[in-house]
Amino acid sequence: KKYVYYFGKTKAEGDAKMKNLLGGKGANLAEMVRLGFPVPPGFTISTEVCKYYYDHGEKYPEELVGEVKAAMEMLEKETGKGFGSAERPLLVSVRSGAAISMPGMMDTILNLGLNNETVKGLINESGNPRFCYDAYRRFLQMFGDVVLKIEHSEFEKALSSVKKEKGVKLDTELDATDMEEVVKRYLEVYKKAGKEFPQDPWEQLWMATNAVFGSWMNERAIKYRALNGVKEGDLLGTAVNVCTMVFGNTGDDSGTGVAFTRDPNTGEKKLYGEYLPNAQGEDVVAGIRTPYPMTKLHEINPAVYDQLLDIFEKLEKHYRDMQDIEFTVEHGTLYLLQTRNGKRTPYASVKIAVDLAKEGLITKEEAVMRVTPDHIETLLHPYFTKETLESAEKLAKGIAASPGAASGVIAFDPETAERMVRDEGKMVILVRPETSPEDIAGMAAAQGILTSTGGKTSHAAVVARGMGKTCIVGCEAVEVDEHAKEMKVNGKILKEGDWLSIDGTTGEVFMGKLDSVKPQGLEGPLAEVLGWADEIRRLGVRTNADTPKDASIARGFGAEGIGLTRTEHMFFQEDRIFAMRQMITSSTLEQRKKALSKLLPMQEDDFYGIFKAMEGYPVTIRLLDPPLHEFLPKEDEDIRDLAKEMGMGYDELKATIEELHEFNPMMGFRGCRLAVVYPEIAEMQTRAIIGAAIKLVKEGMNVIPEIMIPLIIELEELKYVKAIIVKAADEMIREAGVDLVYKVGTMIEVPRAALTADEIAREAEFFSFGTNDLTQMTFGFSRDDYGKFVGHYLEKGILPTDPFQKLDRVGVGQLVKMGTEKGRSTRPDLKVGICGEHGGEPSSVEFCHLVGLNYVSCSPYRVPIARLAAAQAVI
């Protein structure tokens, strides 16, 4: 069995397809060698070794030592150097890398191979003792920190002491002798910690390898995987990459950088990145020194800059995606150290997918697949309006690292942030000097993140973008005092729990809580890619809307009609509830008709507005559905008022109300049962619907009303209610002398209706699955009470997901499928839709596509997600 894969100057044993085996980093290094790009040679110990290591009590397969030795010999041959050689020492980095990119999750060790002897060889060879001792002390620090778990701060202290004695502030001000002194003190740090620094390079290598494999199971790696939905067992483990060192810290003609082939914030096609002259890789990522924009490299070495541009272009073409690249320049020669698909904001994700399709690098279908429901959700997230911003108190401005608008109370550490969100239900802004992998859970809990240091590729920026969180970094005006739990900013002091608002699009920080608004429509690349989704999808997408305002928002989001208008919501408005209550408590038909006649014009107005907003698309209106007692007055005072208005005694009304009380209202006197008992209600609603439609027809508008009867269980029942509707409607249309086609259909939301759908379809002109009630009744889970126990079902793995969120394909789904098939067996052109909450949930939308429904209907803000999911279901 092969455990080690070599990548050299001209040949590589691995390639990009071997991510599972070599990890992303190893696979892409090999691929870049194949593409002929300058990569320092090295080899990858596969992820299978990691698995073996954990399966066998932290032992390696027997063959491994031999394979590593052989690979090292190849390296020595290719570089002309010797591992442990005192003349021309070969130095390497030891880097982790799993199949998914886990930025900063596991630890890299640079300059491995240095010891008291080899450092002299390096000095002879380079003629630059300052650089050599700097490299050595960096290695001592990383090795001590990562492998031997010596307190990082001990090294910091030792370094500071030398700086203090020398009277300088910056590392760069230390000369060779100083650095040699630092090395000495670092070695003392080891001793003081009771650890021994291994002088033998091979021992260094194996200890580092153990540490990398060990880090696979460290707390932050486990947490990262959990947060990203990676289950233990999904991946074999991490690989270990051993890579010849190249040096960015050998002088001003050297340097190191991180660059994206497109702007990860905006998606714009322009080089975006940071370059730090005379530095080693970690300096940029850790945010210790503030790097320059890439133009700096152009100034220093235009030839290398152009070479990079050319490589970036080729890499994008090859990987067909935006790349995030680490590179180092050593004495004017360029080396690539890593490439991967770059993390980006949701906005940039969509823009890049659209642009790549337009550039012909990917197909429209692929572009559609690259957009996720989460992207859309964040793109439709709130922003601060101009007006809000004008009156807001601006505190500072930092680097805009991840767009969006967020308000929350301040937390200065991740644990507090998590606790405030989880236990106190607060919205939190996490404020830190900088973030590190330990902060991830706190970042995930927060609404937004603000750091006082770091650049655009710092940990906070990269992670926040990946999470789609609003983030500002490098806000230097903010001074964080973590221990005192307060921050100073431009003369103000803010404490934990104070409100703060941040605008990740501009980088501005504001005092207090700012109101944000949601976007009202789609524009730019999102509109474009959803347009492509529309070309691809076969499922229609409608909306659930009860008001003209919601209807027009949904139109803006691309809804092709209304799948559900709930008429009852209209009755809760203050001027109407009174008439409604009057209607309900009427004891005679006369009284009830009188009350209904008050409601009629109001309803007609509503429907008029909704039809109009829907611009000629079909509008499905459901007749009154909830149990009547929901509308009844509960306060004594209200009862008294109502009694007076109706000329009833208080006691008489009170008794009526009590009579209407139900033990199990969800299965009680509701839905079409109301129409069966009080046909005049259905008649009034029909008159309101048809009346509004006739008005609009007369105004020259196309109107398609679909009247929907809720909670049907039986053909005879449907016949009875439908007759009431048809009689009223036809009479009105005849009298008005207009051309108006309307439909009468039913909801399928009681299992019996699904079971008898073939009969019901004899009268129903369309079906709409009300999957909220259908789930409730199929499971026998009360929608209002299941929260008490569903958590246990999920935890214990009895149910895979919450059936009210994700349609239960096995049970409820079977009823949907059967109901559709049965219905169409009677009426082949039967239109079938779904109007429960599931209509905007991607997996449920996919199911609706698979069983051949005509459309899904969901709340306005879910419409774009449904359009996307419907297209993805086809691809």
Binding residues for substrate: 566, 622, 749, 770-773
Binding-site residue numbers are: 566, 622, 749, 770-773
The pair phi, psi for residue 31, each rounded to 5°, is -60, -40
Q: What six digits make up the tokens of 197?
A: 């620094």
At residue 743's C-alpha, the angle toward residues 738 and 748, to 5°, is: 165
Judge whether 835 counts as a catalytic residue. Answer: yes
104, 561, 633, 803: residue in contact with ligand ADP (rule CB under 6 A): 104
Q: Does 338 contact Mg ion by CB under 5 A?
A: yes
Q: Say which entry of Mg ion, ligand ADP, none residue 282 contacts (CB below 5 to 8 A, set by partner kind).
A: ligand ADP
Instruction: Tell me if 507 contacts Mg ion by CB under 5 A.
Output: no
Query: Closest CB to ligand ADP among 108 and 378?
Result: 108
Min dist CB 746 to Mg ion, Å, is 11
Q: Among ligand ADP, Mg ion, none, what binds residue 819 when CB lies within 5 to 8 Å by partner kind?
A: none
Of the two residues 494 and 672, which places its CB atom closer to Mg ion in the complex?
672
**Binding of Mg ion by 749 (CB under 5 A):** yes
837 binds Mg ion (CB under 5 A): no
Q: Minimum CB separation from ligand ADP for residue 374, in Å?
A: 24
Least separation in angstroms between CB 533 and ligand ADP: 35
Instruction: Tell the smallest beta-carbon distance from residue 105 to ligand ADP (Å).
Output: 7
Q: Which is nearer to ligand ADP, 84 or 836 (CB)?
A: 84
Query: Interaction with ligand ADP in 252-311: which residues (CB under 6 A)?
Result: 281-282, 285
Q: Closest CB to ligand ADP among 326 and 625? A: 326
From ligand ADP, Mg ion, none, which one binds at residue 560 (CB under 5 to 8 Å depending on kind)? none
Q: With CB under 5 A as the contact rule, which of the stretches 175-183, 741-749, 805-813, 852-860 interacts with Mg ion?
A: 741-749
Task: DSSP for 522-543, please give it.
Answer: --HHHHHHHHHHHHH--SEEEE
Count of residues that bind ligand ADP according to CB under 6 A: 17
Question: How many CB atoms are closer than 10 A to CB 386?
Answer: 6
* Least distance CB 110 / Mg ion (angstroms): 11
Burial 422-458, CB ≥16 within 10 A → b, else e: eeeebbbbbbbbbbebebbbbbbbbbbbbbbbbbbbb
Minimum CB distance to ligand ADP smaller for 38 or for 382: 38
With CB under 5 to 8 Å by kind, the binding choice for 328 among Mg ion, ligand ADP, none is: ligand ADP
281 is in the binding site of which of Mg ion, ligand ADP, none (Cβ under 5 to 8 A by kind)? ligand ADP
Report the residue from 770, 813, 842, 864 that binds Mg ion according to the rule CB under 5 A. Answer: 770
Q: Out of 31, 316, 717, 773, which residue is the one contacting Mg ion (CB under 5 A)? A: 773
Spell 274-306 as b/e; 16+ CB within 10 A means b.
Answer: bbbbbbbbebbbebeeebbebebbbebbeebbe
Residue found by looking up tokens 């300088």 in the block: 168
As given in the structure block, the two tokens for residue 609 are 């507005």
x/- track of binding to ligand ADP for residues 108-137 (CB under 6 A): x-x---------------------------
Coil, strand or helix at 824: helix
Q: Which residue, chain included where needed, has tokens 């509830």?
A: 577
In Å, how far are 25, 32, 225, 309 from 334, measured between CA atoms? Answer: 18, 13, 33, 12
Does 243 contact ligand ADP by CB under 6 A?
Answer: yes
Q: Give me the least distance between CB of 819 and Mg ion, in Å please.
A: 14
Residue 39 has phi, psi (to 5 degrees) of -125, 130
Q: Which is nearer to Mg ion, 749 or 837 (CB)?
A: 749
Among the listed residues 329, 324, 339, 202, the one whose alpha carbon sits nearest the alpha carbon of residue 263:
324
Catalytic residue among 459, 629, 838, 849: 459
Q: Which is nearer to ligand ADP, 329 or 450 (CB)?
A: 329
Tokens of 475: 């806000």
Q: Which residue lies nearer to Mg ion by CB, 533 or 834?
A: 834
Give the β-pairing of 109-112 and 92-98.
antiparallel
Which one of 326-334, 356-364, 654-662, 676-684 is the stretch in contact with Mg ion (CB under 5 A)?
326-334
| DSSP characters over 199-243 | --HHHHHHHHHHHHHHHTTSHHHHHHHHHTTPPTTSS--EEEEEE
432 binds ligand ADP (CB under 6 A): no
| Minimum distance of Mg ion from residue 128's CB (angstroms) | 26
Tell me which DSSP letter residue 622 carries: E
Out of 81, 95, 542, 849, the only residue in the binding site for ligand ADP (CB under 6 A) is 95
- Tell which positions 332-351 bind ligand ADP, by CB under 6 A: 337-338
Return the number of other C-beta atoms located less than 10 Å from residue 700's C-beta.
6
DSSP state letter for 268 = -
**Parallel/antiparallel/unpaired status of strands 562-566 and 540-544:** parallel
> 20 to 59, contacts with ligand ADP by CB under 6 A?
40
The partner in contact with residue 104, picked from ligand ADP, Mg ion, none with C-beta cut-offs of 5 to 8 angstroms by kind, is ligand ADP
Shortest Cβ distance from residue 752 to Mg ion (Å)? 14
Q: How far is the CB of 636 from Mg ion (least distance, A)?
A: 32
- Stretch of 16-24, 242-250, 539-547, 670-678 contacting ligand ADP, by CB under 6 A: 242-250
Q: Say which entry of ligand ADP, Mg ion, none residue 525 contacts (CB below 5 to 8 A, set by partner kind).
A: none
Is 173 in a helix, a strand, or coil? helix
Q: Which residue is nearest to ligand ADP (CB)?
A: 281
Beta carbons within 10 angstroms of residue 230's beta carbon? 16
| Contact assessment for residue 466 and residue 111, using Cβ atoms and an 8 Å cutoff | no
Give the Cα separation of 71 and 54 in Å (integer). Answer: 23
SS3 of 516, please?
Answer: strand
> Which single residue is written with the structure tokens 């009057």?
582
Q: Which of 243, 835, 848, 858 is catalytic?
A: 835
Q: What are phi and psi of 627, to 5 degrees?
A: -60, 140
DSSP tag of 438: G
Instruction: Report the alpha-carbon distance of residue 782 to residue 788 in Å, rounded.
Output: 10
Q: Mention every residue, 6+ apart, whose C-beta is less than 8 A from residue 658.
A: none
Tell me how far apart the terminal alpha carbons of the chain are, to the nearest angstrom: 38
Q: How far is CA 717 from CA 78, 667, 723, 769, in A?
A: 86, 16, 10, 18
From 743, 749, 767, select the one nearest 822 (Cα to Cα). 767
Active-site annotation holds for 381: no
Which secondary structure element, helix H or strand E, spans residue 292, and what is its range?
strand 292-293
Q: Which of 245, 696, 835, 868 binds ligand ADP (CB under 6 A)?
A: 245
Q: How far is the CB of 377 from ligand ADP (least distance, A)?
A: 29
In this complex, which beta carbon is closest to ligand ADP, that of residue 316 or of residue 326? Answer: 326
Nearest by Cα to 669 from 710, 716, 629: 629
> Residue 339 or 746: which CB sits closer to ligand ADP?
339
Residue 187 contacts which entry, Mg ion, ligand ADP, none (Cβ below 5-8 A, type-dependent): none
Scanning residues 316 to 335, which ones bind ligand ADP (CB under 6 A)?
326, 328
803 is a site residue for ligand ADP (CB under 6 A): no
* Shortest distance, position 321 Cβ to ligand ADP, whole Å: 18
Kindly indicate which of the ranges 51-59, 238-246, 495-503, 679-687 contains the residues binding ligand ADP, using the contact rule CB under 6 A.
238-246
Closer of 247 and 384 to ligand ADP (Cβ)? 247
- Chain residues binding Mg ion by CB under 5 A are 326, 338, 749, 770, 773
- Chain residues binding ligand ADP by CB under 6 A are 40, 93, 95, 104, 108, 110, 243-246, 281-282, 285, 326, 328, 337-338
Catalytic residue set: 459, 835
